[in-house]
Amino acid sequence: MSLSKPIVRHWIDEFVLICKANPTVTGCTVFLSVATVVLIQSNTRSSRLTKKQQQTILDEDHRRRKTRRKNLVDRHFFRKLRIFIKIAIPSWKSPEFAYLAVFSAFLVGRTFLSIKVSEVNGALVKAIMNLDFKAFLRGWIVLAMFAIPSSTLNSMLRFLGNKLALRYRSRLVHHFNDLYMHPMMYYKVINVDDRIKNPDQALTTTIDNWSKSVSKLYSDVTKPLLDIILFSVRLSSLVGPEGPLSVIFYYFVVGTIIRLISPSFGKLTARAQRFEGDYRHVHNRLITYSEEVAFYGGHHREKLTIDEHYSFIEKHTRYLIGKKFWMGISDGFLTKYGTVMMGYSVLGLPVFGPRRAQYLQQVSNDTSMIAHDYIRNSSLLISLARAIGRIVASYRDLQKLAGYTSLVSELQYVLEDLKKGKYHRKMINEDRLKELNFAPNTGKITLSDSVEFHQVPVVTPNGDILVKPVDLLIRPGMSVMIVGPNGCGKSSLFRILGGLWPLFGGGLERPDPSELFYIPQKPYLTIGTLRDQVIYPDSVDEFKEKGYNDRDLDKLFNLVRLNYIPERLENGWDTIDDWYDVLSGGEKQRVSMARLFYSKPRFAVLDECTSAVSIDVEGAMYAHCKREGIALITVSHRRSLWKYHEFLFKFDESGGWSFGKMQLPSGGNSPVEANGV
Ligand SMILES: Nc1ncnc2c1ncn2[C@@H]1O[C@H](COP(=O)(O)OP(=O)(O)OP(=O)(O)O)[C@@H](O)[C@H]1O
């Protein structure tokens, strides 16, 4: 105790003396420390999430059971990564593998060049020390000669890295587009399953980030690994194995410390991606409903929503940059300046280390030779330290990659589940469903000539029982009017018929999808020409293969009284426009009816699809359907349509239904109540 006190006092005095001798450094350190505390305090305050935002994040995390893992870089991550790498590089015969091989070869080439350059650096310093101009000039020319292949190699590596990232992205995009565009999948991801809110974000930005991140990480890890091996071998032959070994040991300790203190950047990255997705979604919504919002004058309300979503991003980013700031300090201290101190210890080894006598004898105490060795060794050491530093720093990139991988794999799992008929959704009526023996995808679906429901429960994907089990038979040529109060389940019946919603029991017989045409309440118009609107979902080639031409389209437009549209357009059927904006509400619905006439299916489900069409045109269109022998299944509140149907299916207020022949009083449009069955 008595001894340690004077030693401590001595070091304190030494330290005070050093501070007094270096006022600039001392002043800067004090100033920066105060500034850091003030800045970080204000950043922390402004990055605090509101209660509502915290709740949103908690709900999100709760829904995503997997994110409960604290660190995303674990064995699950490497397992998932392997799956996606296999998609990005399908086989060793694939072009991606060839690119990777060339990329790796260039990486090796660059490391060899670096070693050679360090030799030349040493020779140049020796020439300067010896005042040997000839040797200096020779070294200078050699160095200049190295510059050309070095810069080509560097640019080539960047080029190949970008090319690889693009190739990975294309592979993943095609893989996911195949899964996502599987029949009904894009609908089910949003409307049936509740695990993913914005699949568009994962399908676009996240896949792009994943591909870039994998490509970057490959060069950031393989090159330094190679460097470490080659530089260590060379350095240990020059300064002894303790040199590179102590550098590696130092970094091992540093890496462990960084791993322990660094926050879960993977999780933070995944969260940032979700916030970005939500923010983009609210902007997309505004674009979609711009006219409605403009009429309501809803800009102020919409701005509040947009601002609220942006504030999530802003606060999260602030939090992230705050975290990065602290990590930057520890990274800089441990991996940059700590390395320099470590480096000097190694560089001092030949002249101060255990083999000092042997070394000095070898160089015959020649200071120019010592300088030559020093420069060469320091150049090698800097490269070695940089290489290890990059590996340590790439841990954060790995965490980011883990974040992207977790989002992309979540989409993959959901799509695979849905393909197998499984989905995840919080059920609101679990006990009642169990009691009635209703469970998703337990009903039997078979192909048939007619539409038949046998004891089919009408249940929403989240388990809300809308109607008691339905029995209904619709034969070809038979037309049924569906009526009932709002929200009773009319459209839902067809969601089940179309396979959009799972069957919770019973049996469903339905014709091939090509025989059943559905026109929804909201008219859908595709991107493309006026012709594309009518022939959708056929392509122009399919349209021609079926033996149709534009004259046939004119006839269809005559039937729906839209013949004035192609006539007034300069390019007629070839006109490309934003048809949502160009056509009126009624015109859009009439285009949908023309599409039905083009398809000529055996059954047509018309779900309030003529609500904006004038009664006389609507009547003409229905009369045409009857002439064509199309079995109509119409959902409508318009009584004028009842006369085109022979049967009536009626939902009541209390979840019941009735089905029977339509009875119209002679000579009138007003029907008599349908018979119960
Ligand atoms: N994807 C979904 N998930 C859960 N519930 C849904 C979903 N889509 C609709 N619903 C609910 O199912 C119920 C029935 O909706 P449906 O669209 O069948 O009504 P509808 O009888 O056609 O009404 P309207 O006459 O107003 O068009 C509504 O309460 C609706 O909120």
pLDDT tens string 554-612: 999 999 999 999 999 888 999 999 898 889 989 999 999 999 999 999 999 999 888 88
The DSSP bridge partners found for residue 473 are: 452
pLDDT interval class at 672 (50, 70, 90): very low
ipTM > 0.90, yes or no: yes
Q: What is the mean pLDDT of residues 25-46?
A: 66
Q: Is it the case that residue 674 has pLDDT exceeding 50?
A: no
Q: How far is the CA of 458 from the centre of ligand 1 (A)?
A: 11
- Pick the more confident residue, 492 or 242: 492
pLDDT at residue 266, rounded to an integer: 76
The DSSP bridge partners found for residue 470 are: 456
pLDDT at residue 64, rounded to an integer: 53
651 Cα nearest atom in ligand 1: 21
Q: What is the mean pLDDT of residues 268-288?
A: 88
pLDDT at residue 675, rounded to an integer: 35
Q: Is it the case that residue 62 has pLDDT exceeding 60?
A: no
Q: What is the mean pLDDT of residues 8-35?
A: 75
Measured CA to CA, the distance from residue 287 to residue 332 in angstroms comes to 45
Q: What is the mean pLDDT of the chain?
A: 84
Q: Is it the case that residue 203 has pLDDT exceeding 80?
A: yes
Residue 429, CB-side half-sphere exposure with 13 Å CA sphere: 17
Q: What is the DSSP letter of 72?
A: S
pLDDT interval class at 447 (50, 70, 90): very high
488 Cα nearest atom in ligand 1: 21
pLDDT at residue 61, rounded to an integer: 56
pLDDT at residue 587, rounded to an integer: 93
For domain 432-661, give the CATH number: 3.40.50.300
Most distant pair of Cα atoms in the chain: their distance: 125
501 Cα nearest atom in ligand 1: 1
- Pick the more confident residue, 446 or 251: 446
pLDDT interval class at 38 (50, 70, 90): low
Q: Is it the case that residue 644 has pLDDT exceeding 80?
A: yes
Q: What is the mean pLDDT of residues 493-514?
A: 91
Q: What is the mean pLDDT of residues 325-348?
A: 75
Q: Where are the domains of the chain?
A: 91-420, 432-661
Q: Give percent above pLDDT 70 in the chain.
A: 90
Q: How far is the CA of 487 from the centre of ligand 1 (A)?
A: 5
- Pick the more confident residue, 502 or 664: 502
Q: Is it the case that residue 5 has pLDDT exceeding 80?
A: no
Burial (CB < 10 A; 0-12, 13-18, 19+), residue 414, is: buried
Q: Which residues are CB-neighbours of 660 under 8 A, at least 6 positions away?
A: 647, 648, 674, 675, 676, 677
Q: Is it the case that residue 641 has pLDDT exceeding 90?
A: no
Q: Is it the case that residue 539 has pLDDT exceeding 70?
A: yes
pLDDT at residue 36, rounded to an integer: 65
pLDDT interval class at 40 (50, 70, 90): low
Q: How far is the CA of 636 from the centre of ligand 1 (A)?
A: 15
pLDDT at residue 127, rounded to an integer: 84
Burial (CB < 10 A; 0-12, 13-18, 19+), residue 541, is: exposed
**Cα→Cα distances 673→489, 656, 660, 668, 676, Å:** 20, 15, 9, 14, 9
| Closest C-alpha residue for ligand 1 atom 7 | 460
pLDDT tens column, 410-434? 999 999 999 888 888 888 878 888 8
637 Cα nearest atom in ligand 1: 25
Among 3.40.50.720, 1.20.1560.10, 3.30.70.20, 2.40.33.10, name the CATH number for the domain at 91-420: 1.20.1560.10
Measured CA to CA, the distance from residue 456 to residue 440 in angstroms comes to 12
pLDDT tens column, 77-92? 899 999 999 999 999 9
pLDDT tens column, 132-177? 888 889 888 888 888 888 888 889 988 999 999 999 999 999 999 9
pLDDT at residue 668, rounded to an integer: 45
pLDDT at residue 669, rounded to an integer: 47
Q: Give percent above pLDDT 90 in the chain.
A: 32
Q: Is it the case that residue 118 has pLDDT exceeding 80?
A: no
pLDDT at residue 613, rounded to an integer: 86
The residue to mutate among 425, 488, 495, 653, having the most atoms of ligand 1 within 8 angstroms of its beta carbon, is: 488
| Closest C-alpha residue for ligand 1 atom 13 | 487
Q: Is it the case that residue 440 has pLDDT exceeding 80?
A: yes
Q: How far is the CA of 492 from the centre of ligand 1 (A)?
A: 6
Residues with CB under 6 A from ligand 1: 191, 460-462, 464, 466, 484, 486-492
Q: Is 185 helix (H, G, I), strand (E, B) or coil?
A: helix
Amino acid in position 128: I
484 Cα nearest atom in ligand 1: 21
Q: What is the DSSP letter of 481?
A: E
pLDDT interval class at 46 (50, 70, 90): low
| Closest C-alpha residue for ligand 1 atom 10 | 460
pLDDT at residue 44, rounded to an integer: 59
| Closest C-alpha residue for ligand 1 atom 5 | 460
- Pick the more confident residue, 367 or 403: 403
Q: What is the mean pLDDT of residues 118-124?
A: 79
| Closest C-alpha residue for ligand 1 atom 1 | 191
Q: Is it the case that residue 676 has pLDDT exceeding 70?
A: no
Q: Break the chain down into helix, strand, coil percent, rounded to 5.
A: 65, 10, 25
Q: Is 471 helix (H, G, I), strand (E, B) or coil?
A: strand
The residue to mutate among 426, 460, 486, 638, having the most atoms of ligand 1 within 8 angstroms of its beta carbon, is: 460
Measured CA to CA, the distance from residue 208 to residue 347 in angstroms comes to 43
Does residue 677 contact residue 660 with C-beta atoms inside 8 Å?
A: yes
| Closest C-alpha residue for ligand 1 atom 24 | 486
pLDDT interval class at 60 (50, 70, 90): low
pLDDT at residue 677, rounded to an integer: 31
Q: How far is the CA of 658 from the centre of ligand 1 (A)?
A: 19
